[in-house]
Chains A and B, each alone.
Chain A
């Protein structure tokens, strides 16, 4: 009796996830795919999404790796606070994040005049898209990398040092390779989060074709303007990316646990 109930509950939730996503594919007409991909808006969105997500990923890796290492290794006053702050964007609603970015870096925001004096207008630009993505997505990488670094046996780093390797080379030859499954998993997850970014982007960067209209924003705009087939095609592209991400994350997690 209980077993049946458990099975039913489990099946219900799985079906609830699978059915709508799989359903999208049934809305797909072969002719639509070509037609949709031929539109300038779809091509712009696809190109913009790829460029911006790789830029935000690069920033995340560059700044997030040292941060994750410090959080995993160093002891300093306020470490737990920094730890919590880093996780904050994961739970803050994206629209709120977008508003916060706008009020900080927008033309009339706190730092707006500063950038304005340099001739830079951040809001409603491609840079704003990258900033919004980095803001919401980088914590996923930092979390994973922090756990990865914390899991590396420090005796191995000590062994490397006593054999003559300096701190940077020890990091490159020992720490990073041993934390690699966590680093790759976190990077992929954070990239996927950036690709799906909608709320913060539309608040801070707007929805301008070729400038700030990434794939999720293009899905929204095409649905709003009654262009359902294009919205479906772009959605299917996003789902395919998501599938690749999920498979990669599971594969690296398995390799890491071996």
Chain B
């Protein structure tokens, strides 16, 4: 369970919102510039709120009142970034194994885990490809494999389909939805794609001008 109650000053208005997200996908919707990405950045620990707190499965990640702030590298919260943010100087296997390297997993064990993950996402043949040579759909699989291999305690997705052209988006969307159904941790999915909302009709947050409301 992910719980937050936050206030963060944006340029034109403050982001203010409280909510909770259980296991599975919670859609975060609202007009662009409303503060959706800010919510993800606050939860990941990339920015610090002026007021408020975040807890994940009972563990306090941020608490402005006590000055508690767990840095992003110790939160175990993975993000699927808007344009995937793959590391251009590593090949596919290097990208996918990055989080295991961060956890100091021995080389042999890491290689085996990466191989299994590549298999699972059907990108084993691309293991040594440069990420700059991949198609949009392949990029998304690499990003998803990289995020999920560390078994994160929460997953955040920041409009991962926005960078794709219309033709590939449909196929990639279905692929992503199928993968997310297997994820059993709190997952916030920022999207203003109505088709995504149809695929995940469950709980949602609506953010408008920094004001977050929890939809049932």
CA distance A190 to B79 in the complex (A): 39
Q: Using CB atoms, name the residue of chain B closest to A169.
A: B102
Residues on the B chain within 8 Å of A156, using CB: 85, 87-88
Assembled-state Cα–Cα distance A153/B102 (Å): 20
Does A86 make an interface contact (CB < 8 A)?
Answer: no
| From B72, B83, B88, B99, residue with most partner A Cβ within 10 Å | B72
Is A162 a contact of B77 with CB atoms below 8 Å? yes
CA distance A65 to B26 in the complex (A): 43
Which of B73, B83, B87, B103 interacts with A162 by CB under 8 Å? B73
- A178–B76 Cα distance when bound, in Å, is 25
Q: In the complex, what residues of B have CB within 8 A of residue A161's CB?
A: 45-46, 71-73
A174 to B85, CA, bound (A): 12
In-complex Cβ contact of A163 among B78, B83, B88, B89 (8 A): B78
A120 on the interface (CB 8 Å rule)?
no
B44 at the interface (CB under 8 A from A): yes
Q: Are A164 and B87 in contact (CB under 8 A)?
A: no
- Choose one: A166, A167, A169, A174; the contact of B87 (CB below 8 Å): A174
Interface size class of A (residues with CB under 8 A): 10 to 19
Known: A155-B81, A159-B81, A169-B102. A164 touches B88 (CB 8 A): no
B75 at the interface (CB under 8 A from A): yes
User: Is B87 touching A159 in the complex (CB atoms < 8 A)?
Assistant: yes
Give the distance in Å from the alpha carbon of A161 to the alpha carbon of B147 in the complex: 12
A121 within 8 A of B: no
Closest to B149 in A: A163
A248 within 8 A of B: no
Contacting residues, chain A, for B146 (C-beta < 8 A): 163
- Among B44, B83, B89, B102, point to the contact of A178 (Cβ < 8 A): B89
Q: Does B150 contact A (CB under 8 A)?
A: yes
Instruction: Indicate if the CB atoms of A162 and B72 lie closer than 8 Å.
Output: yes
CB distance from A169 to the nearest CB of B (A): 7
A180's nearest neighbour on chain B, judged by CB, is: B89
Is A158 close to B, CB under 8 A? yes
Q: Chain A binding site: helix, strand, loop or mixed by DSSP?
A: helix
Q: Is A164 a contact partner of B76 (Cβ separation < 8 A)?
A: yes
Given A163-B102, A163-B146, A165-B73, A158-B88 contact (CB < 8 Å): no
B98 at the interface (CB under 8 A from A): yes
Chain A proximity mask over B79-106: 1 for CB below 8 Å, otherwise 0: 1010101011100000000110111000
Q: How far is the CA of A177 from the CA of B94 in the complex (A)?
A: 14
Hey, what's the 0/1 contact readout for A158-199 against B, CB within 8 Å counting as 1?
111111111101100010011000000000000000000000
Q: Which residues of B contact A165 (CB under 8 A)?
A: 73, 98, 101-102
User: A158 touching B150 by the CB < 8 A rule?
Assistant: no
Bound CA–CA A163/B102 (angstroms): 7
B99 and A164 within 8 A (CB): yes
In the complex, chain B residues whose CB is within 8 Å of the CB of A155: 81, 83, 85
Q: In the assembled complex, how far is the CB of residue B157 from the closest CB belonging to chain A, in whole angstroms?
A: 12
When A155-B81, A169-B102 are in contact, do A162 and B88 touch as well, CB less than 8 Å? no
Residue of B with least CB distance to A161: B72
Min distance, Cβ B8 to any Cβ of chain A, angstroms:
16
Chain B, range 32-76, C-beta contacts under 8 Å to A: 44-46, 71-76
Shortest C-beta distance, B184 to chain A (Å), equals 19
Inter-chain CA distance A153–B81, complex, in Å, is: 12
Please measure, in the bound complex, the distance between the C-alpha atom of A163 and the C-alpha atom of B104, giving whole angstroms.
12
* Interface membership of chain B positions 126-165, coded 1 if the CB is closer than 8 angstroms to chain A and 0 otherwise: 0000000000000000000011001000000000000000
The answer to whether A164 touches B103 (Cβ under 8 A) is: yes
Q: Are A163 and B98 in contact (CB under 8 A)?
A: yes
User: B71 contacts which chain A residues (CB < 8 A)?
Assistant: 161, 166-167
In chain A, what residue has the closest Cβ to B44? A162
For the complex, give the distance between the alpha carbons of A155 and B101 in Å: 19
User: A158 and B102 in contact (CB under 8 A), knowing A163-B150, A178-B89?
Assistant: no
Q: What are 13 A-B contacts defined by CB distance under 8 Å? A: A158-B81, A161-B45, A162-B44, A162-B46, A162-B73, A163-B99, A163-B150, A164-B74, A164-B99, A164-B102, A165-B102, A166-B73, A167-B71
Q: 7 additional contacts, CB 8 Å, given A158-B44, A162-B79, A164-B103?
A: A158-B72, A158-B79, A162-B72, A162-B75, A163-B78, A166-B71, A170-B73
B-side residues, CB < 8 A to A, are 44-46, 71-79, 81, 83, 85, 87-89, 98-99, 101-103, 146-147, 150
Q: 3 closest A-B pairs (Cβ-Cβ)? A: A164-B102, A163-B99, A161-B72
